[in-house]
Structure formats: structure tokens, C-alpha cells
A and B are shown apart, each in its own frame.
Chain A
Amino acid sequence: MEKKTLVMGVIGADVHAVGNKILYHAFTGAGFNCVNLGVMVSQEEYINAAIEANADAIVVSSLYGHGELDCRGMREKCNEAGLEGILLYVGGNIVVGKQVFDEVEKRFKAMGFDRVFGPGTPPETTIEALYEDLNVQPPEEYEE
């Protein structure tokens, strides 16, 4: 299988680096080609990286509660940059405080995100979703 390329990173003024590293290893191990932008990533950085690397998906993390502000307009910017239809994921503690996840998911989907993952999602869940949405099979050596 040709490797699919992901652009990943932690959005906004968020400096949570540990989860980002764990996700990077999990995605790479699951057979994806990862461009990891690290922490404090702006929308423009995800988009520029996705253009150069011809990425198949952008996976946005946010842990500090301000994700809703940081993610606004991202789909529109992707469209402007010629990345129409690129797969957009978001996950983590993406809103302020404890809110009903269904509501949160709805709001982020309305913003144009294809999948929304709540707090405590194991990497495997996201990986499964990526396989499905990108229409690829897990590599042979990959074990869940």
C-alpha cells in the first residue's frame, strides 16, 4: 500500500507536547507518513505543510480548552488554499470545561471537521477512523 500522509500538531498557544509525541509514534507505527508540526501550530502552518507534502489528512490536537476558537475558519482556509475535501480531524480537550460531547461534536462538524474525538480517546480509535476514511488497510506488521 502506498503510505498516506498526515499533517499533525497541537493548535494555538497550546504547548502540551507529550500527547503529540505519543500520537506521532502511534500514527507512524500504524503505517502513516507523518509530518509532525509539534506544539503551538497555527492554521496556516498546517495548511502550508499539507500543500508541500500533498497530505491526505490534517489531524489537529488541542488540550488546553481553547480549541474552539483556534479551529474556527480552518476548513474555509483549506478550501482557499486549494485543499478542498482534505480530511480534517480534531481531538482532545477541545472546549472549555465539561460539556456534553454530542453538542461539542455537532459544533465542530458544523465548522467542517470530518471527525471529532473527545477527551481520553485512545490513538487506536483515531487510527481505525483514518483507515476507514482514507480507504486503506492496516500494514501487516500493525497490531492493535
Chain B
Amino acid sequence: MKPVLLIDFGSTYTKVTAVDVGQEVLLGTASSYTTVQTDIGEGLQKALNILEQKTGKLDFAERYACSSAAGGLRMITSGLVPELTAEAARQASLGAGAKVIRVYSYELTKKDIAEITASRPDMILLVGGTDGGNSKCILSNAKKLSQTEPFCPVVIAGNRNCADECEELLENWETHVCENVMPKFNELNIEPAQQEIRQIFLNRIIQAKGLSKATELISGILMPTPAAMMAAMQLLAEGTESESGIGELAAIDLGGATTDVYSIADGRPVQANTIVKGLMEPYAKRTVEGDIGMRYSIWGIVEASGIERISRLSGIDARRAEEMIRFLSENTEQLPNDEEWERLDFALASLAVETAMTRHAGTLEPVYTPMGLAYSQAGKDLTEVRNVVVTGGAIIHTKRTGEIAAHSLQDPNYPGSLRPVRAEFLVDRNYILAAMGLLGQYYPDTALKIMKKELVRATR
């Protein structure tokens, strides 16, 4: 037996997962409150004690961790045109597992700089212009930033022809230059920036957040939790040399404050005479719906779907439903404890899944041209994706998982939304995906086999 410990320092819970990489099995999971104010090791020790009550004493050969504690990796990005380099910067940051506080476009103003300074991000990503293209914007932004006191690392990933100049302007700041996120028009190149972001996270952010005490116990905090989740999804889709993956997939992580959606799919048009519009989207894409969550962001669900739909899906009178929602928004720890509350949570979860997936997936619009009907596609076409992975408390701890997950599929009445048409739902019932993303960095075959074993199919 060779037990390995995977730790996820979440904003609320510290989750531990033990696996035996010899037998390639999951040994157990446990969680306890994250203790970031005092010593993050306390919460970890508590979680470990609970785990070892279940599994017996374990002598861990290796320990790896990911973290979204202390606000996660908070980033601000700045690009040129909102739909182009500014969007590329957003995609790069989200894919690296960051929480994007704000995306700026065009030249920053004094007020913007004051806002950025006040919001104290962990990192700033500065982009703009294709290689050999616009340099005015990124230079102006670097200059404005250079006039304030440095407070965090800056990643420069814009027009390569002025990267040196940006670095010189920001000489008082810690700068990291990497390849342009959009070297040619509409050509997305976000991996180099993402690697840089992860490296900085590893070397700097962990210490700055007082998480380093914990790192003495473990072999290091490798990445932000969403990046671990992304890594797990990519591994599950693609497989390894010796173990095949399950193919293209989408994944939904329904939380209390946000809902994250991932897709590992190329997303190109399925039908003929379709013209793709807008920025090309990354093959491994992550979106975060900051206004869609089961408790802290509960009103966002109401706003997106309307109280009427919540009422219809839950079978609860609209006025009563609103009352209950108000209660939940003020009592965020409240779990459904009877049949009526379960019905409400079912409706909320279903609509959260629907909204988040609709925003993540692309759209298809018919265009009537003088030469006949054509289609214009924006974003990714996920209609052929056959696997949807679901995780998050509200979706795992219910008997109606399949019904909730089904809301991620395309609604036949709105074929313009390019969500999966038919898919199998894979449920992360033990909450191990982030852990498997971590494990996959060292033992990809084992992580993949455990995921295949542990993810259970839900039926509608």
C-alpha cells in the first residue's frame, strides 16, 4: 500500500482525500472547516483525524494540495478591445483557476488605477494588441500602473513588440513577460500566460496568503482549486497513453456562491453553412457565474430565471417560494430538511444548472442571406458532447441528481443554445475531482482509473 493524501483548502471547508496509488483505489474522504485566520494546519489536522477514524492510521508517502482559501487567486486583467484581447485575458485567467475581479479594456484611467489599487488583486494580467499591432494601449496602461506603489506581480502577455518597454516602465514592479494571448488576430494562445500565472501562484501567492505554514506538512500547494478541477476534466476527457479517456465533456460545479462550468471540447460547428463569429474559444474552457449559486447568490438565480419558473418547478406558490429564498439567503448554512425545502432546492439547482450552461455554451442564429439560409455561430458548439460531469453539494446530495443535471441539456424549444443534446450524467458523489486533478499531476493513470470508478452515472 502506498497512500497519498490530496488536500483542497476551500474557502469554507478543507477537504482531504486519501488514495492508495498501489491498488489504485480511493481510501476515503473527509472535511472540516478551513482555519485561515489562525493556522490553516488546524483545520487540516481535524479533517485528517476524521479521515483516519474511517480508514485507520495512514502513513502518507506524498501529500499534495490545491487551494481556494483566502479568496483564491484574485486577478485583474486589462486588454484592448472588450471582445478580443480583453476577452482573451479573461479566458486565460479563468482557465488558470483565477477569480477574475474585473476585466478592463482600452486605456486605463486614473480612476481605474485607484480602483485596482483598492481591490488589491493577487496578480494583474496586462495584454493588448496582436504581435506587431497596437502598442499604444498596453504602454499607456503600463505607464499608469508604474505611477503607483507596486503591490502584486504583473504578467505581461500582449503585443510582443512592446513587451520590453512595458517591463522597463514597470521596473519597480515584479514583472513576468510571456507570449501574447492573441499573437495574431483571433488566434488564442492562452497556455503560456496560464503557466506563468500558475508558477507565480506557486512561488508567491501561497506565502503572501499565510498558507505557507501548511506547506511544511505537505509537498506544496500546487495550484488553485479550479485549476485542479480543470486538470481532472482534461485528464478524464483525453485519457493517458495507456488508459483511454471518455471523450469530449462538459462539467458543472454548482456551489453556494458561484457556479463554474468547464468544457473540454473543440466546439466547432456541427452543421454545414455555419459561419463562426467572434473570438475563437479555448478547447479547455472555464466560465464562472458569480451571480449564480445556491445560497450567497440565490437571488441571481431568481433574477435569471424568474420566480414564476422556480414556483412551477418546485410546485411551491410564488410568494411562499420568495419567502423561503429570503430565508436561505440570510441563513446560508441551511440545508433542506423537509420535503418542501427539498423541492425548492431542486428547482433552484435545476435553474442554476440551466443558466450556467446556457451562458457557457455558444449560440446559433439563422441568417437569411440573399443566397439562402446560413447560420452564424458564436461560442462553442457543445451539441455533440456526450458526457456531463456534475459536482457540488446541492446536486450530489439529492435523489434527483439526474433530473437536475438534465437541465444542462438543450431545450428543444430553443435550439439556438448550443448545449449538449443528449448526454450521460456522471456524478462526483464523493467530491474527489479536484483531488484527482492534483493526483493526475504525478499519477495520471491512477487518477483516471479512480475517476472512472468513482463517477457514477445518474439516471433521469
CB < 8 Å neighbour of A40 from B81, B135, B186, B277: B277
Q: Which stretch, A22-30, A45-53, A130-138, touches the partner chain B?
A: A45-53
Binary interface profile of A, 1-41, with partner B (CB < 8 Å = 1, else 0)? 00001010000011110000000000000000101001110
Say yes or no: is A54 at the interface (Cβ < 8 Å to chain B). Answer: yes
Q: Which 3 A-B pairs have the closest CB atoms?
A: A53-B133, A35-B185, A13-B369
Give the residues in chain A near B164, CB-CB below 8 Å.
Answer: none
A–B Cβ pairs within 8 angstroms, 5 of them: A13-B374, A15-B275, A52-B129, A52-B130, A53-B133
- Say yes or no: A52 contacts B85, CB within 8 Å: yes
Say yes or no: is B134 at the interface (Cβ < 8 Å to chain A). Answer: yes
Give the residues in chain A near B83, CB-CB below 8 Å.
Answer: 48
Binary interface profile of B, 184-227, with partner A (CB < 8 Å = 1, else 0)? 11100000000000000000000000000000000000000000
- Say yes or no: A14 contacts B369, CB within 8 Å: yes
- How far apart sit A66 and B83, CA to CA, in the bound complex (Å)? 26
A52 to chain B, nearest CB (A): 5
- Say yes or no: B81 contacts A51, CB within 8 Å: yes
- Say yes or no: A52 contacts B132, CB within 8 Å: no
Residue of B with least CB distance to A45: B277
- Say yes or no: A54 contacts B370, CB within 8 Å: no
A36 to chain B, nearest CB (A): 9
Q: Which of B79-102 contact A (CB under 8 A)?
A: 80-81, 83-85
- How far apart sit A3 and B81, CA to CA, in the bound complex (Å)? 23
Q: Which of A48-101 contact B (CB under 8 A)?
A: 48-49, 51-55, 64-66
- Say yes or no: A38 contacts B370, CB within 8 Å: no
- Say yes or no: B275 contacts A53, CB within 8 Å: no
Of A15, A51, A55, the most chain B CB neighbours within 10 A belong to A51
A54 to chain B, nearest CB (A): 4
CB < 8 Å neighbour of B81 from A15, A38, A48: A48
Q: Which of B234-280 contact A (CB under 8 A)?
A: 273, 275, 277
Known: A15-B275, A15-B374, A48-B81. Contact between A54 and B132, CB under 8 A?
yes
Main secondary structure of the interface of A (DSSP, over half): loop
- Say yes or no: A52 contacts B374, CB within 8 Å: no
A128 to chain B, nearest CB (A): 24
- Say yes or no: B134 contacts A53, CB within 8 Å: yes
Q: Which of B25-57 contact A (CB under 8 A)?
A: none
Say yes or no: is B118 at the interface (Cβ < 8 Å to chain A). Answer: no
B364 to chain A, nearest CB (A): 14
- Say yes or no: B133 contacts A13, CB within 8 Å: no
Say yes or no: is B16 at the interface (Cβ < 8 Å to chain A). Answer: no
- Say yes or no: B368 contacts A13, CB within 8 Å: yes
A24 to chain B, nearest CB (A): 13
Q: Which of B288-323 contact A (CB under 8 A)?
A: none
Residue of B with least CB distance to A53: B133
- How far apart sit A39 and B275, CA to CA, in the bound complex (Å)? 8
Give the residues in chain B near A39, CB-CB below 8 Å.
Answer: 275
Residue of A with least CB distance to B371: A15
Say yes or no: is B376 at the interface (Cβ < 8 Å to chain A). Answer: yes
- How far apart sit A14 and B83, CA to CA, in the bound complex (Å)? 22
- How far apart sit A55 and B133, CA to CA, in the bound complex (Å)? 7
- Say yes or no: B133 contacts A54, CB within 8 Å: yes
- Say yes or no: B80 contacts A52, CB within 8 Å: yes
CB < 8 Å neighbour of B135 from A48, A54, A55, A65: A54
Residue of A with least CB distance to B131: A53
Give the residues in chain A near B184, CB-CB below 8 Å.
Answer: 35
Say yes or no: is B145 at the interface (Cβ < 8 Å to chain A). Answer: no
- How far apart sit A97 and B182, CA to CA, in the bound complex (Å)? 41
CB < 8 Å neighbour of B185 from A14, A40, A52: A52
Known: A40-B277, A64-B369. Contact between A53 and B185, CB under 8 A?
yes
- Say yes or no: B275 contacts A40, CB within 8 Å: yes
A11 to chain B, nearest CB (A): 12
- Say yes or no: A52 contacts B275, CB within 8 Å: no
Residue of A with least CB distance to B85: A52
Residue of A with least CB distance to B134: A54
Interface contacts beyond A52-B130, A54-B133: sample of 19 additional A-B pairs, CB < 8 Å, sorted by A? A13-B368, A14-B369, A15-B273, A15-B371, A33-B132, A35-B185, A48-B81, A49-B84, A49-B185, A49-B186, A52-B129, A52-B134, A53-B130, A53-B133, A53-B185, A54-B129, A54-B130, A64-B370, A64-B371
Q: Which of B102-132 contact A (CB under 8 A)?
A: 128-130, 132
Say yes or no: is B367 at the interface (Cβ < 8 Å to chain A). Answer: yes
B280 to chain A, nearest CB (A): 12
Binary interface profile of B, 47-87, with partner A (CB < 8 Å = 1, else 0)? 00000000000000000000000000000000011011100
Known: A51-B80, A52-B81, A64-B371. Contact between A40 and B132, CB under 8 A?
no
Binary interface profile of B, 416-450, with partner A (CB < 8 Å = 1, else 0)? 00000000000000000000000000000000000
Binary interface profile of B, 128-169, with partner A (CB < 8 Å = 1, else 0)? 111011110000000000000000000000000000000000
Binary interface profile of B, 325-344, with partner A (CB < 8 Å = 1, else 0)? 00000000000000000000
A49 to chain B, nearest CB (A): 5
- How far apart sit A7 and B81, CA to CA, in the bound complex (Å)? 15
A51 to chain B, nearest CB (A): 5
- How far apart sit A121 and B70, CA to CA, in the bound complex (Å)? 64
